[in-house]
Amino acid sequence: MALFDDVPAEKPVPHRIGEDLSRLSIDELTDRIDLLEGEIGRLREAIAAKTASRAAASSFFKP
């Protein structure tokens, strides 16, 4: 039963911090910048949501 013996294929990682960039084209480098800028935006949104949540909890539990 090969169906259960197959190891699931791992998705290629779009970018690794510290990776050798010398073999990438300018277009590939630009694509990675776009990808990372999108991720930075997502992280900033998560920080803002957690900050708002913390502020709401703080004001609720103040004596």
- For 8-49, the pLDDT digits (tens) are 777 777 788 899 999 999 999 999 999 999 999 999 999 999
Beta carbons within 10 angstroms of residue 32's beta carbon: 15
Eight-state DSSP code of residue 13: P
Eight-state DSSP code of residue 17: T
With respect to residue 30, please indicate whether it lies within any of the assigned structural domains.
Answer: yes
**1 pLDDT exceeds 60?**
no
**Confidence at residue 4, expressed as pLDDT on a 0 to 100 scale:** 67
**Confidence at residue 48, expressed as pLDDT on a 0 to 100 scale:** 97
Number of structural domains the chain divides into: 1
With respect to residue 35, please indicate whether it lies within any of the assigned structural domains.
Answer: yes
Contact 35, 14 (CB under 8 A): yes
Structural domain for 48, as ranges:
24-63
With respect to residue 54, please indicate whether it lies within any of the assigned structural domains.
Answer: yes
With respect to residue 49, please indicate whether it lies within any of the assigned structural domains.
Answer: yes
**62 pLDDT exceeds 90?**
no
**Confidence at residue 24, expressed as pLDDT on a 0 to 100 scale:** 93
With respect to residue 38, please indicate whether it lies within any of the assigned structural domains.
Answer: yes
